[in-house]
Structure 1
Amino acid sequence: MNTSAARASQLPPPPEAFHLRDAAWHQASIEQTLRHWDGRSDLWVFGYGSLVWRPEFDHLEARRARIHGYHRALCLWSRINRGTPERPGLVFGLDLGGSCDGVAYRIAGSRALDILGPLWQREMPSASYVPRWLNCHTESGPVPGLVFTMDRKDAGYVTGLSIERIVSIVRQGHGRYGRCTDYVLQTADALETAGITDRRLRAIAQALRHAS
């Protein structure tokens, strides 16, 4: 990527590039994601951001887990949950490369459809993520988990931001779920409590606290 393109990729897209998905789209996406599910077995969902400290769904079990091939990053402009079209914040996505530690939640097969509907509304308001089934490696062995990975083709995808730039963006963000700063700090604190080390996120959290 040349310098001008790199700079452009670090700027939020215009508001008209942001499109909400409706209930019919969510339902079709869920059906596509579950096309190989038998309709009875329990399902696992992998949390790496706010799902670590605010899953908002009933689960039978929670395990610390690691996935490979993706890493946690503040790589998605947020115009609803943690920002507005005029002053977007940033939220976490799973970007390509490396690995990521998080929490895998087991949900009852009998409750799966009731749980996944609200989960799609929360995680996929603008279809910025790609739902995938990935191996979640836990101390009790691997489990196939539903993981929301970053769609790099999405208009809201952003990469190459310095910690200073991230802190500046996060501090300005405030959306329907509250301040972007709170979201980032709560995620950092929840990971630390779970014994999960994310050095870059720790540096961002320290800078946010210092700037407050």
Structure 2
Amino acid sequence: MRKTSTARTQVPVAMQLTPDLVAKTFKLVEDDGPEPNWTPISPQQLDELVNRVEQEACDEEIWVFAYGSLMWNSGFEVAASDDAVAYGWHRAFSLRIERLRATSDAPGLMLALRPGGSCSGLVLKLSCETKEQDLRTLLAREIRYSEVCDMVRWISVKTPKGTRRALTFWASTKRSRITEKIPLDDAAVLIAQACGPAGSCAEYLHRTVLDLADRNIFDRNLWQLQQMVAARLRALP
């Protein structure tokens, strides 16, 4: 998937990936447990990761850069939020999955940050009163396996109030087997086919693009991708 820049602008036309098309991707899927060949993060490892992030925060406020599902489903009480742009990064469907919204028979893709371009999104502030618990909840959701603890990092983002240091989740180059660059054509195939116990990848794409559109954020790659996935789903019986 090529690098792309995102900007706050009027979305050009109506989405082609409609709720009716997304509904064609839904099916009942049993939970088959963790991703194959990966080790679920232990409570001790999660504690260590929480402690590491807290130490890196240096007792300052913790802001999280949201560019995908965290924008429309943060999973924690947001104390404050602001528009933000991450320069030098772009969102891409480059995280391969076989669980949650996919299966081993029909693998799928989720979003991650990749180097290059720019990415418009939000920064979300963790409440000072519940910071440790909210941070633990966030990390448990985003870092499910011990092998991918390096996929959480700090970046600088531009906001209307100035530059902020924000925590985010990226496609670490150390995990090339599951975070490689994927052409849009191949991504569309995987997203159109994948569904798991948490829903389908097409639903994830639809909700993300719709949320971006509601915020007047136009992501060229994601907009093209929803058109390609819609075309594949329209061709289904």
TM range (shorter): 0.7 to 0.9
Shift of 1:119: 1.0
Q: Is contact 1:84–1:174 with CA below 8 Å preserved after alignment? A: yes
Q: Structure 2 CA distance, aligned partners of 1:188 and 1:22?
A: 33
1:135 Cα deviation after fit:
1.6
Aligned to 2:19: none
Instruction: Note if 1:37 corresponds to 2:53.
Output: no
Which residue of structure 1 aligns with residue 43 of structure 2?
A: 23
What residue in structure 1 maps to residue 18 of structure 2?
A: none
How far has the Cα of 1:158 moved from its partner?
A: 2.1
Whether 1:101 and 2:101 are equivalent positions in the alignment is no
Matched, 1:157 2:176: no
The structural deviation recorded for 1:129 is: 5.4
Structure 1 residue ranges, 4+ long, deviating more than 6 angstroms after superposition: none
Query: What is the aligned partner in structure 2 of residue 77 from structure 1?
Result: 96
What is the SS of the residue equivalent to 1:81?
A: coil
Please, what TM-score do these two structures have when normalized by structure 2? Answer: 0.77
| Count of residue pairs brought into register by the alignment | 196
Q: More displaced, 43-52 or 19-28?
A: 19-28
SS of corresponding position for 1:110: coil
Q: Deviations over 1:108-136 (max 9, x none)?
A: 22211111112112111122652222222
Q: CA deviation at 1:197?
A: 1.4
Q: CA deviation at 1:147?
A: 1.2
Is the CA contact 2:89–2:119 (under 8 Å) kept in the aligned structure 1? yes
1:143 aligned residue? 164
Q: Name the counterpart of 2:26.
A: none
2:218 is paired with a residue whose SS is: coil
Q: Secondary structure at the match of 1:134?
A: strand
Q: Percent identity?
A: 25
Match of 1:90 in 2: 109
Distance 1:105 1:84, change over 3 A: same
**1:89 Cα deviation from its structure 2 partner:** 0.8
SS, match of residue 34 in structure 1: helix
Moved more, 124-133 or 200-209: 124-133
Structure 1 residues 128 and 37: CA distance shift in structure 2, 3 A: closer
Match of 2:82 in 1: 63
Tell me: CA distance 1:210–1:92, structure 2 relative to 1, closer, same or farther (3 Å): same
Taking the aligned partners of 1:131 and 1:205, their CA distance within structure 2 comes to 27
Give the aligned partner of residue 48 of structure 1: 67
Q: Which has the higher contact order (CA 8 A, sep 6+)?
A: 2
- Aligned AA (2:42): D
Structure 1, gaps ≥5 residues long = 1-14
Could you give the per-residue CA deviations for residues 45-93 of structure 1, whole angstroms, max 9, x where no partner exists? Answer: 1111111111121012121101122210111101222212332210001
TM-score, structure 1 as length reference: 0.85
In structure 2, the gaps of 5 or more residues are 1-34
CA distance in 2, matches of 1:200, 1:61: 29
